[in-house]
Structure 1
Amino acid sequence: MHVTGLKLTYDTSKAAGDRIVSLVNNVERISLLNKKYFVTVNNYIVDGGDGYGHILT
Structure 2
Amino acid sequence: VAPAELEEVLRNHPDVVDAAVIGVPDERSGNIRKAFIVLKHSKVSPEDVQNFVS
Higher strand share: 2
Structure with greater Cα Rg:
1
Q: Which TM-score band applies after superposition, normalised by the shorter structure?
A: 0.3 to 0.5
Given the two structures, how large is their TM-score scaled by the length of structure 1?
A: 0.32
Given the two structures, how large is their TM-score scaled by the length of structure 2?
A: 0.32
Higher helix share: 2
